């Protein structure tokens, strides 16, 4: 299978609410996750909601990382899309699970750009682990 990139959709469940409401911690975690994923951070922005919740977006040379948190539910939605052959988005997902102390998580991995004519091949290991992984 040939793709331009990999799109990871990560659902974090059962996270301590204080972690999901800490805007600075979320930004630091996104920066560290981008480094662990071997991606290039171009810019980062966030918004803290009242009474709770944070949305943050990291713009990467390889695409993006976003997070939206619902501290009152212990839930966060994380989206990581990377293109190219060097980025490791699954490593970033594993980091988010650990840092936000998720009691449970679901990771859906989708190939992107199939059929667009601008592909790079997935490794057999990447192809075998596509779709859905439960934590």
CB of 67 closer than 8 Å to CB of 40: no
Residue 115 CB burial class (10 angstroms; 0-12, 13-18, ≥19): exposed
Active site residue 83: yes
Marked catalytic residue, from 17, 46, 64, 68: 68
Q: List, in sequence order, every residue forming a beta bridge with 11; answer none if it has no partner.
A: 77, 106
Rounded CA-CA distance 79/76 in Å is 10
Marked catalytic residue, from 8, 83, 93, 105: 83
Active site residue 119: no
CA 123 to chain centre: 20
CA 95 to chain centre: 9
Marked catalytic residue, from 7, 15, 63, 105: 63
CB of 34 closer than 8 Å to CB of 82: no
Active site residue 64: no
The residues annotated with a catalytic role in the active site are 63, 68, 83
């Amino acid at each position: 299978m040939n793709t331009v990139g990999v799109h990871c959709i990560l659902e974090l469940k059962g996270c301590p609410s204080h972690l999901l409401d800490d805007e600075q911690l979320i930004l630091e975690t996104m920066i560290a996750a981008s480094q662990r994923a071997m991606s290039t951070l171009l810019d980062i922005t966030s918004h803290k909601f009242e009474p709770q919740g944070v949305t943050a977006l990291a713009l990467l040379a390889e695409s993006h990382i976003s997070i939206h948190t619902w501290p009152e539910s212990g839930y966060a939605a994380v989206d990581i899309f990377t293109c190219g052959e060097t980025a490791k988005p699954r490593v970033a997902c594993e980091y988010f699970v650990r840092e936000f102390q998720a009691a449970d998580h679901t990771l859906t991995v989708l190939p992107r750009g199939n059929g667009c004519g601008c592909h790079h091949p997935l490794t057999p290991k990447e192809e075998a682990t596509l779709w859905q992984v439960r934590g």
